Structures are given as structure tokens and as C-alpha cells.
Amino acid sequence: MARAHWGCCPWLVLLCGTSWSPNDPGFFSRLLACAWGHTKPVDLGGQDVRNCSTNPPYLPVTVVNTTMSLTALRQQMQTQNLSAYIIPGTDAHMNEYIGQHDERRAWITGFTGSAGTAVVTMKKAAVWTDSRYWTQAERQMDCNWELHKEVGTTPIVTWLLTEIPAGGRVGFDPFLLSIDTWESYDLALQGSNRQLVSITTNLVDLVWGSERPPVPNQPIYALQEAFTGSTWQEKVSGVRSQMQKHQKVPTAVLLSALEETAWLFNLRASDIPYNPFFYSYTLLTDSSIRLFANKSRFSSETLSYLNSSCTGPMCVQIEDYSQVRDSIQAYSLGDVRIWIGTSYTMYGIYEMIPKEKLVTDTYSPVMMTKAVKNSKEQALLKASHVRDAVAVIRYLVWLEKNVPKGTVDEFSGAEIVDKFRGEEQFSSGPSFETISASGLNAALAHYSPTKELNRKLSSDEMYLLDSGGQYWDGTTDITRTVHWGTPSAFQKEAYTRVLIGNIDLSRLIFPAATSGRMVEAFARRALWDAGLNYGHGTGHGIGNFLCVHEWPVGFQSNNIAMAKGMFTSIEPGYYKDGEFGIRLEDVALVVEAKTKYPGSYLTFEVVSFVPYDRNLIDVSLLSPEHLQYLNRYYQTIREKVGPELQRRQLLEEFEWLQQHTEPLAARAPDTASWASVLVVSTLAILGWSV
Amino acid sequence: MARAHWGCCPWLVLLCGTSWSPNDPGFFSRLLACAWGHTKPVDLGGQDVRNCSTNPPYLPVTVVNTTMSLTALRQQMQTQNLSAYIIPGTDAHMNEYIGQHDERRAWITGFTGSAGTAVVTMKKAAVWTDSRYWTQAERQMDCNWELHKEVGTTPIVTWLLTEIPAGGRVGFDPFLLSIDTWESYDLALQGSNRQLVSITTNLVDLVWGSERPPVPNQPIYALQEAFTGSTWQEKVSGVRSQMQKHQKVPTAVLLSALEETAWLFNLRASDIPYNPFFYSYTLLTDSSIRLFANKSRFSSETLSYLNSSCTGPMCVQIEDYSQVRDSIQAYSLGDVRIWIGTSYTMYGIYEMIPKEKLVTDTYSPVMMTKAVKNSKEQALLKASHVRDAVAVIRYLVWLEKNVPKGTVDEFSGAEIVDKFRGEEQFSSGPSFETISASGLNAALAHYSPTKELNRKLSSDEMYLLDSGGQYWDGTTDITRTVHWGTPSAFQKEAYTRVLIGNIDLSRLIFPAATSGRMVEAFARRALWDAGLNYGHGTGHGIGNFLCVHEWPVGFQSNNIAMAKGMFTSIEPGYYKDGEFGIRLEDVALVVEAKTKYPGSYLTFEVVSFVPYDRNLIDVSLLSPEHLQYLNRYYQTIREKVGPELQRRQLLEEFEWLQQHTEPLAARAPDTASWASVLVVSTLAILGWSV
């Protein structure tokens, strides 16, 4: 997992909601765990929140005064003859992490939570957000803003209908509403005599003015061939071949997600935190390639790598990022059909293409192709995981020595593991903000320590580390939970049940093209059996130096079916509020399974290579199959990571690895009934008559 | 299962399709197995199909000459100025089984398959159906009809666009298109300059004339109070209370599914094969109750039971079935909001209600309430299953004696089990056409024997019986597979893996409100493990003297979440083409589970009480937990059915039951590795040092 939610997309709150009913009492706590945000944790215990009912209102120091900016925004609204203006928290590419210059909702409201929508009318201003952020919003917003403790477009529209007069115009930036979100606003407003008005100039930006942080401008660079699965020319040909085979024979594909353009051209940059992308669109037609980005950011070598000086079908013409709408509009005049993935396309693009010229799928062909790694990409991702295991093992060894000294806290620990990763070959920083959580903090869904707010690591507490790295060859994500002292029986039981869940799903054999949603309960069964569970998803796709949460692979209902060559995390957990948190996360490759009878079956091959904590495993809960699986996995870790540790002269770590991967032996089961049947069985094996 | 598909609804072909991609090579075979039709099986091996490419065409005797009826239909179309007319295979209530007078598509085309849509233009006529029916269609249709081997509205609209001129009008009967189907036609035709035209007088009926079978006219009767969970007054009050609690406070609920009206008023009849319903609608408002049905079918006692002579909020006003549209239109003029379940409402009702007066959910409150049985309904359903077990056990004992004589065939066997059921108290006939299939026939998805076409039962073959009864207290559905001779090792393995699947799902503990889709793979895991699987769903809801396939409970993606008090079948299977078929189906009640740690968890309580075939169980494949579960289940069967057999003096059957429910003992596992770990474990138990 990571602190952020499953997938590079702000629609996650909705996604999570689809699997549970909002009427369900547990809905919000699960939503919380499902759509883990990326903001700083807020101490919910504090009373340091605004009170708008006193005169004058009480405002804590954390509040931002928004009176002037609201006045300025309303002037802009008046110019456009708007009764209301919608300010979503998204950017134009459905990015999981948002650049500072895109934090419009945070800037105008003061509220910095990762999820929430603001709406301003001429008289009122309001924010809608989910339960994770209610306290934070009360600490950050001044009394210009109402807080609505709801999510989705329906409550916003209900409010709008009471706040703005009939005939009123509701403005929005079409690049900040996904097609789906726009449709739900449009549907809800139908017949209400209120009009949705698309305004391409963002009104908040106009008010923000020179204070707005600049758009990133670091170089955009090409990956070395050693780190790519195919050349960009091969990828372009592959997409064009899919266009020709498509029933509707589209003449072009439009790519809106930044990872799509980055993948297609094997280009990277650092515009987005943790994601090596750059602001861009691509219009790939049957006879041309247009890359919309800031041309000045390409070196002459990169321009030449892209054949950008020609105009043929294998030449990448670079057009300015801001030209994408006009360019699509011009292209749409012809006899064309433009193929888009609706999940990652914003209304601002969609509205430019006449309906009859649109070819829509949920995901673009690039998104679908990228999900299945070819053999070189598989080898690259695996190699990055071996080096990543070295960094994590170094950290675990370091913790074993230093935690007893009482000198390690969650934040300094996170710095160490980030440093160890940084020392690995091809490192390009963490793939998300490291979750380093001790004791009760590990039970908080969106916890990461800060320099100021953190907890000391101790041999008396469990410690959860969820972290990952970006490497030129691959992106990693792994979670281990450890205890250096004497865990309670319940901690061991819970840990072992989480481990069984991880094993049961990892070793599952299932038919090709099974959806993850159909099998994810195998990761929960051992917990359910005892009345335990976890409130988040079970895994997500991962990229080759791309997103750590790479859609559309995973175990959610809207993920695509599993196929050979996909990578997904497998990460059951258990969280005891106020006490501890457990999560065991591995990345696994989907591979063909050999079955007794012939058929097209798949299973998982785990490529994360760090042993689990023996101190927390209750062997008596494991079946013979679990033990066999675990010991085989440990053997694989020895074979993959052992030589690497030796080569690097990390002999202490090598010793540690040998100890922690010693085969586990079966112990007596707990329950008498199981034992008695077992005895009968074994006596039968031994040839005794019973 | 049953021969018909999961659920009382013709949309099933689409439902099944959602879980698999049509691009998947196995899609159609699975679709076939998923949406098992209700028509007579057709011998696909025969070459007795039409040949329209010769001159004159070759037409087998099974073909129906449709020239005259088509000419008459086109005259009707001309009167309405139509370029095309759509003839779906559905009726006006989404019934699983269709009355003869509703078989319009079968009558006009000659093709009697349970799925398929016909479209007639002034020059051409065509049928779209899925692979189950391609041969059948070629045997039954004359050369007036094109056969299109596709399903869904898209290929129909694509064809229409080439066949009818711009400006053309496409007529349809609004009572034969569901809201969803209408929307997909409407969407596909948008911008095409072809218009969908709703015509309430069915044009096929006009042509059919006096030849059309009459609408059923048997009495509509009230269930005795002993067989109802609540009075109709209590149910009406319950629905009204849900109306008041609903966010949008609807003023009325409109019920379109026949089972909804039957359930609400505790009324039954026999209009539909296997389903004890009558053609009806109900408009339940906050101050009145209107039941649309043929008034002459109610006795004076039933009219008095319904308080039909008054007009207050607890009086049922009976209006004629044909008045429903006008009555809804009149009601819609007021300040009202009408609540409908979109899944069971046809466009003919939907189009009468102004959009702003509609309150839509997927299922009506009656459908949702009916899904959860109260304690009396649970007791009634359980009691019917005890008597049903007596009938099935009598049949299994009878088979054991008679099959070796060589005098039993699939059809005569089916007659015997139907007869035994008929002798049970409160019997009201079978709940679907009995599937009685020997040897290779059991591998055919939609097989039922006929008097003319059937196979002899033999001790050398497996035999599959899937059957159920309608009783005044409950509806039953059970499948058992048996072998009276020496099954092959593979047959035993497959049977045992199916049994393990049944047990693994039946004993699963899962959180309240989990959807069936999330857990149904537990019924498949043991098969998957060996490269085996089955191509149909894993279970469906069941009613109290209502539908044998009662939506919306079940394990499909569009079923609602599991809740305490629901009943579902659990029915994994395995089918070896050309050899044999296995299915083990039980009905189970969803109950609260007691877990080690407190929480809201559910599990299943199986209420089908017929033992599995010991001759087919390979005990070495069962885990200690499986054996424990099985032996506990057998103990329950003894306790529930034993006394009933004794009371009825069915002593031979009682003896048989005792033998077949003897506890099973563990045997040596097959695999050496499992055995070795087991030995270590047990030696540890025995206190030996290892």
C-alpha cells in the first residue's frame, strides 16, 4: 500500500463507495481506509477548531483568511455572469499526487485535505468532504466557508438548487471535471432551469495571480534503452495496430494521463511528487504523433530521439501543452474517430470532440497495454525488487541493533530506509511517502510521521513499515510488520492470520481472465474466520518506474481481469484501534499455473524478497500447505537476495537473512478436534490400524 | 439450479456477459451454461436444417411457414408508418417462464428458443440469438428470416441503420422492452435520424388474432394464514413505512413483477408455468391500494379478504389489468412521486411517469423486503425442505432398487420423483422442469429428457437429478449426483472437489453485507486447484411458494449484499463434455456466525437434507475441517429427516438414511509431501521429539 489510495486518481472516493453502501454504519471508516489520502495527519484529539457561532467567531491560528480572495473570485464570477462556481480538488490529469500550482481548492479555502470540492455562490461558500477531513477542515477554514459532511455530486446539487435562483449559471473548469463527474452534475441539474457553464480560464487562477506556484520546468529526459521494455517506435506501432483491429477503426488515440505519455515515449521528468511524469497530452493518429508539452524542456538529444524535426508517421511533433484543445478541435473537423479512455479524460477534452467522432473505452489502449509487462519489463521489475529487498533488509538489521538503544523514532527511521534505498543502484527516490508507524500509530489509516510529530520505536511495540522506491528499472512497494520483544498472543494470532491471507491469495490457482474482485476474499478468510478483517483493498498494480499505484490492475470491482504479465500488490492487514496495526504487502507477478488437468490457469509469483517476522508467526495456525509455501518462498529469497548481499559484502545482513529464512517446522495445532482427526490420519499413514 | 437461468428475468444474457469478455474464446460456451434456457433440447447433431442458398430452398418439416403472417404484420406496420418493428422474446413482467399467449416472437418467426429478438422491416426479417439456439433456429425458421449470431442491441441497431432509410420509424411495444433495453436502443439510435416509436397495441397480436392462446383465467386465491409470514396489511404498512423513511418520500410504489404483487397480498394463481403467479400490477400509494388484475378471477371470499369494497388506505381496489397505464397517467397528474424498481419495470410503465415524479432504485422495496425472510417464513421454508428431502430420498432408494433392473430411463425417473413430491403435504407441483440426466447428458447445460428422447439409467454411469417443488410453505431446489457402480478415479476426484467447493462456501464466515460475488470463488477453489471449473453461477435466491430463482439474492455481480434471513442455493458443479456431469446443490439460510472475536459476521445454514453419494467421495482429498463439517451436516440430516421418515413408516428409507449418514473417517492423504508434514505434526502431538 502507501499512504495514498489505490490508484492514481481522485475518483477513488467514489470507487470505494461502490462496494459498500453509505447506509452501512461502517461505510465511512472503511471509506477512510480505502481512500487513504496524502495529506499530513491531523491530531484529531485537539480542540483547536473554529467556532463560527460566537461573536466574534473563534478562529485558531491554523485558519486561513479567505475574505479577500473570495471577493476577488466573486468579481470574476460576475464578469462571467455566474451564480455559482465549482472548485474541485483535482488536476487536469487525474493525478494521484497533485502539484502545488494545482492546489486551487486548498488555496481558495485554506483546507488542504486530499479530497473535497468547494462551491462558491455570490453569497455563500461551502466545502464538501469526507469524515477523514472534518476536523482538519474546521481547523483550516475561516467562517466564510460552510462545511458539508457529505461526498458526491448529489448533495452539492441539492445545495445549489436552494442557493441559486432559477435561470442561474453554474460555472466550472472543464479540465477539472472527469467525464463521469460532469455527467453526474449534468444529470442532477437536468430540468432544474440551472445551467452548467464550461469556462476554460480557471477563475481561481485569475485571482491567485502571481502568488500561484510556477508549473514545473525541469528537463524531460529519455530513459536509457536498458530500462525500457520496447522502443517508443515499437509502442507507437503497437497502439496503431490496435487502432486498426478495433471494431470502430479509430483514426487517433488521445492520451490524457501523464503516465500514458511517459510510458509511450519512454520519457520521464519530476513534475509530480513520487511520480516521474511531466504535464502532457498525446494525440497519436494513424499518420502523425503530437506530443503536447513545454518544448523548451527537451534537450536537443531528446528532440532528436523523438524525431521531432520531421512530420511523418514516426516523427513526434511537439506542440505546446496549452494547444491541446485547439489542436483536437482542428483535428476533429476531419473524417476522424478519436479513441479515448473515459476514466482518465477530463470533460475539457471530451467536449471538444463531436459525439459521433468519439470511440470510448474505460481505459485507453496504452493503459491496457502498459498493464501487461513484457518479458524484459518483468525482468527489470524483478531486478529492482531484489535491490529493494537489500535496502529493506539493511534497514531491518539496523533497526534490530538500534531500536533497543531507544534512539530511533518513526521519522528518523523513515529517513534511514529512504537513505538505504537511495544508495541502491538506479535509485530515483521513494515511490510514495514512507509509512513508518509504531504501536498504535500503525492502526491509523493515513499515518506518516513528521519531524515534529512522531513516536519512538520500542521493543515493546509492533512496528509497521510500508515503503517503496522508484528505480530506473522498476517501482517497488513493500510492507513488513515486526516486533523485537514479546508480542501478545493476540498480536501473534492476528499477524499469522494476515500472513495466511497473504499466502492463500498468493498461492491461489485461478482461471485466466478472472477479475481480482472475485478472488480477493482469499486474503481475508483466515481473518474473517476469527471475526477480524481489514477495511482497505487487497492490492494494486505497479509500474516500471511509473505509478506505485498503477491502474487498472488490482482487486477492486472496477479493475480489469488478471492476465499473465501483470504485477499487483497483495496486502492484507489487521488494525486494532489505539493498539497496533499489521500489514504484509508483497508485489507479485501473474504467471501461468501448471494444473493437474490441462487448462488456462494463472497464479502469482511473489517478487518481493524480504522474510516475514518469525517472532510474530504462530506456526500452529498454519496448515501443511502454508508451511510448504512459506518454506519454498524463503528458499527463493535466499537464492535471489543472498548472492546480492554477499556480492556487496553485506555479511551481517547475509547472516540475518539466513537466520530469518530457516525453514519453519509444523507445531501442534491448537484445537483438540483438529488434532484428533490428524492423529487418525497419521496413524493411517503409519500403517496402524485404527 | 434448474434448467432455466438464474433469476426470473430475460436480461440474464446480459448479466452473464458482464463477468466475461465476449472476446474471450470461452465466452459463448459459458454464456450458454450461465443462461440456461427453458426450451426443449434440440439434437444438435442432426443435419436437419434449412438451406436457403439452393433453389428452391431446402426446408425441413420442422420449419414454420411465416409468409402470410409476415405480410399481415407489414400491413400493420404500414398503417403505423413504420420502417421496422422490434419483436422481443420477453413478456410484460420480465418473467422467467413465459405464457403461451406471450410467445409472440416464437409465433411470428417459428423459432421457439428462450432467448432472441426479431426485427421486421418492409423488405427483410431477422432474428438475433446466442449460440445455444443457432441450430434450433435453422431448423425452425423458413427463408423469410435471416439468422444473426449475435446478441445485444448494438448489432440490431447496426443492421437497422443499413436496412431502413434516414427518417425511418422503428416501432416497438413499450411493454416488451425493459427500461435498460429501451435506453440502449435509444442511445444507439441517437443522432442517426431514425426514430424509436412506442406503440402500445402489439402489432403481432393484431395479426395473431383469434389463433392467439387465451390469457389464463384460473382463480386467484389467498394463501392460508399458516403459510404466510405476515398479513398483507402488515406488508402494506411495512412498504408505506419505507416510503416515509425514503430520502425522497415517494407517495406511491408501483409493482410490475408478478411475484411482487403475489407476495404483497399473499395471493397465488397458476398463470405462469412453475411460478404460482397471476398477471397483475400494484399501485400502492400512501392513501390507497390499487391492484390491477382480472376482477372476475377473485372469489367473493378473496374480495372480502382484500377489503375490496371500500376505498380507504387499507382497502384493495381492484382495477382491470388493462387500465394500468391510464391509471398511472391519471395518478401522475397530482403532486406525487412514484417509486419503481428499474430492473422489473418496462418502458411502457416508465414512459407514463414524468421524470421529476420518478423515484428509482434497482429493485422495489417489495423486492428488497421479500429477499429477507422473517422467522416464520424461515421456519416455513425449512419445513418444506424436510418434506422435500423425504421425496428425494424415496426416489434415491427407489432408483437403487430399480436402476439395476434396467427399467428406468431419465424421463420415467423424472416422473417418479415428481410423483413422490406430489405426494408430500402442501405440494403444488414442481418448481421447474426436472433435470434428470444420465451419463453424458448431464454435461449438457440445458438438458431435460422427453418421453421420446431420453437415456436409460445404468449402474455404469453417473446420474444427475436437479429438481424442486412448490409447496404452500416453500419452494425447493436440490441437486444430487449419484453412481451405483464403480466410478472412475477421475469421477471421484471431480465429485469430491465439487463437494469441497460446496463445503468451503457453506462453512465460510464472512462480514455482514458482503456481496455474494466476493465469496463465490470459495466454491471453485478446489476445482481450480486441479485445473477444473464450471461455467455457471454458484447460486440464487429462492422464495416461499414463489420463484425458484428469486432475485436479487445470489452470487452474481448484480446481486445484493448478503443479509441474515436470506436463502440462497449453493451449487458448484463440474461437467466433462460427452462423459458426465456433476452438480451438488443445496439451499442455505444466511445466519449470524459466532466468531472468536466479536463482530457482525454471517455464515450459511444448509436446509437441504439429502446426503451426498459416499460412493463418489474420495475421503483422502478432504481436510479434517471438511470431514468435521460433513459429519455434523449428516448428524443434522438424521435429526431432521429421520423422525419424519419414521413417522411416515418409511422404514426402508430410514435404514438407507442411517447408512448414508454414517460419519466419514479420515483416510491417508495422497501426496507424500502433505503426509510427511502431517507425520511431523502428529508426532509432535503425540509428544515425540522430531
* Predicted confidence (pLDDT) per residue in A14-24, tens digit: 233 333 333 33
CB A624 to CB B509 under 8 A?
A: no
Q: How far apart are CA B464 and CA B389, in angstroms?
A: 16
Report whether B503 contacts B630 (CB < 8 A): yes
DSSP β-ladder status, A316-319 and A281-285: unpaired
Report whether A497 contacts A582 (CB < 8 A): no
Q: State the CB neighbour count (10 A cutoff) for residue A394.
A: 23
Report whether B583 contacts B481 (CB < 8 A): yes
Percentage of chain B beyond pLDDT 90 is 86
Which of the four pLDDT bands, split at 50, 70 and 90, describes residue B275?
very high
DSSP code at position B450? -
Q: Which of B227, B164, B5, B167 is nearest to B94 (CA)?
A: B5
Q: Looking at residues A556-567, what average pLDDT do you find? A: 96
If residue A463 lies in a helix (H) or strand (E), which one and from where to where?
strand A462-467
Report whether A186 contacts A101 (CB < 8 A): no
- CB proximity A155 to B under 8 Å: no
Chain A positions in Cβ-Cβ contact with residue B685 (cut-off 8 Å): 668-669, 675, 678-679
Residue B353 Cα, gap to closest chain A Cα (Å): 15
- CB proximity B624 to A under 8 Å: yes
- CB proximity B598 to A under 8 Å: yes
pLDDT of residue B379: 98
**A153-163 vs A179-189: helix axis angle to the nearest 10?**
40
DSSP β-ladder status, A435-438 and B435-438: unpaired
Q: State the CB neighbour count (10 A cutoff) for residue B431.
A: 28
Which of the four pLDDT bands, split at 50, 70 and 90, describes residue B190?
confident
- CB proximity B356 to A under 8 Å: yes
* 3-class SS of residue B190: coil
- CB proximity A681 to B under 8 Å: yes
ipTM more than 0.95?
no
pLDDT of residue A446: 67
A291 DSSP β-pair partners: A282, A318
Which of the four pLDDT bands, split at 50, 70 and 90, describes residue A672?
very low
pLDDT at B16 over 80: no
* Predicted confidence (pLDDT) per residue in A35-56, tens digit: 333 333 444 444 589 999 999 9
What grid cell was written down for A533?
Answer: 478483517
- In this structure, of A430-439, A586-595, B3-12, B353-362, the range with the lowest mean pLDDT score is B3-12
- In this structure, of A286-300, A445-459, A674-688, B96-110, the range with the lowest mean pLDDT score is A674-688
CB B624 to CB A528 under 8 A?
A: no
B 179-218 residues inside an 8 A Cβ radius of A: 190-191
What is the radius of gyration, based on Cα positions, of chain B?
26
DSSP β-ladder status, B586-592 and B601-606: antiparallel
Name the residue facing A518 among B517, B673, B682 (closest C-beta). B517
CB B517 to CB A521 under 8 A?
A: no
- CB proximity A686 to B under 8 Å: yes
pLDDT of residue B444: 84
Residue B195: CB partners within 8 Å, gap ≥ 6? B167, B168, B169, B170, B189
Whole-number Cα distances in Å, B146 to B64, B109, B239: 14, 10, 48
* Predicted confidence (pLDDT) per residue in B203-217, tens digit: 999 999 999 999 999
Q: How far apart are CA A198 and CA A177, in angstroms?
A: 10
Q: Which of B3, B160, B31, B11 is nearest to B558 (CA)?
A: B11
Which of the four pLDDT bands, split at 50, 70 and 90, describes residue B667?
low
What grid cell was written down for B365?
Answer: 422495496
pLDDT at A514 over 50: yes
pLDDT at A189 over 50: yes
CB B684 to CB A673 under 8 A?
A: no
Report whether A84 contacts A119 (CB < 8 A): yes
Q: Which of B1, B614, B688, B7 is nearest to B363 (CA)?
A: B7
Report whether A63 contacts A141 (CB < 8 A): yes
Any idea which residue has 506530443 for its cell? A291
pLDDT at B497 over 60: yes
pLDDT of residue B40: 38
Chain A positions in Cβ-Cβ contact with residue B684 (cut-off 8 Å): 666-668
Q: Looking at residues B78-99, what average pLDDT do you find? A: 96
* A351-354, long-range: CB < 8 A, 24+ apart: A351/A174, A351/A198, A352/A325, A352/A328, A353/A328
CB B685 to CB A673 under 8 A?
A: no
- CB proximity B72 to A under 8 Å: no
Runs of H (alpha helix) within B20-132: 27-34, 67-79, 104-109
- CB proximity A27 to B under 8 Å: no
DSSP code at position B172? E
For B646-689, the DSSP string reads HHTT-HHHHHHHHHHTSPP-----S-HHHHHHHHHHHHHHTT--
What grid cell was written down for B645?
Answer: 421418515
Residue from B509, B685, B686, B689 to probe the interface with A (highest A Cβ count within 10 Å): B685
> CA torsion sign, A254 to A259 to A263 to A268?
positive
Name the residue facing A681 among B518, B668, B684 (closest C-beta). B668
Q: Quote the strand ranges of B66-177, DSSP E.
A: 84-87, 117-121, 125-128, 145-148, 169-172
Report whether A373 contacts A563 (CB < 8 A): no
- CB proximity A335 to B under 8 Å: no
CB B518 to CB A515 under 8 A?
A: no
Name the residue facing A668 among B518, B557, B684 (closest C-beta). B684
For B451-479, the DSSP string reads SSS--B--TTSEEEEEE-EEESS-B--EE
Q: How far apart are CA B41 and CA B32, in angstroms?
A: 13
Q: How far apart are CA A470 and CA A659, in angstroms?
A: 29
CB B681 to CB A624 under 8 A?
A: yes
Name the residue facing A628 among B665, B667, B677 (closest C-beta). B677
pLDDT at A520 over 50: yes
CB A678 to CB B686 under 8 A?
A: no
Any idea which residue has 411495444 for its cell? B173
Provide the residue type at B195 as one letter: Q
What is the overall mean pLDDT for chain B? 90
Q: How far apart are CA B250 and CA B286, in angstroms?
A: 9
User: For A511, which residue in chain B has the nearest alpha carbon?
Assistant: B528
CB B531 to CB A599 under 8 A?
A: yes
Residue B154: CB partners within 8 Å, gap ≥ 6? B184, B188
Residue B183: CB partners within 8 Å, gap ≥ 6? none
What are phi and psi for residue B192, nearest 5 degrees?
A: -95, -5
pLDDT of residue B131: 86
Percentage of chain B beyond pLDDT 70 is 89
Which of the four pLDDT bands, split at 50, 70 and 90, describes residue A99?
very high
Q: How far apart are CA B129 and CA A578, in angstroms?
A: 59
* Predicted confidence (pLDDT) per residue in A529-559, tens digit: 999 999 999 999 999 999 999 999 999 999 9
- CB proximity A625 to B under 8 Å: yes
Report whether B83 contacts B164 (CB < 8 A): yes
Q: Quote the strand ranges of A66-144, DSSP E.
A: 84-87, 117-121, 125-128
Q: How far apart are CA B5 and CA A448, in angstroms?
A: 51
Residue A684 Cα, gap to closest chain B Cα (Å): 6
- CB proximity A530 to B under 8 Å: yes
Name the residue facing B624 among A356, A667, A674 (closest C-beta). A674
Burial A556-566 (b: 16+ CB within 10 A, else e): bbbbbbbeebb
Q: Looking at residues A168-189, what average pLDDT do you find? A: 95
User: For A518, which residue in chain B has the nearest alpha carbon?
Assistant: B518
pLDDT at B95 over 50: yes
Q: How far apart are CA B690 and CA B678, in angstroms?
A: 12
pLDDT at B423 over 60: yes
What is the overall mean pLDDT for chain A? 90
Report whether B232 contacts B262 (CB < 8 A): no
Q: Looking at residues B223-232, what average pLDDT do you find? A: 98
Any idea which residue has 476522424 for its cell? A336
Residue from A626, A685, A686 to probe the interface with B (highest B Cβ count within 10 Å): A685
Q: Which of A610, A604, A606 is nearest to A644 (CA)?
A: A610
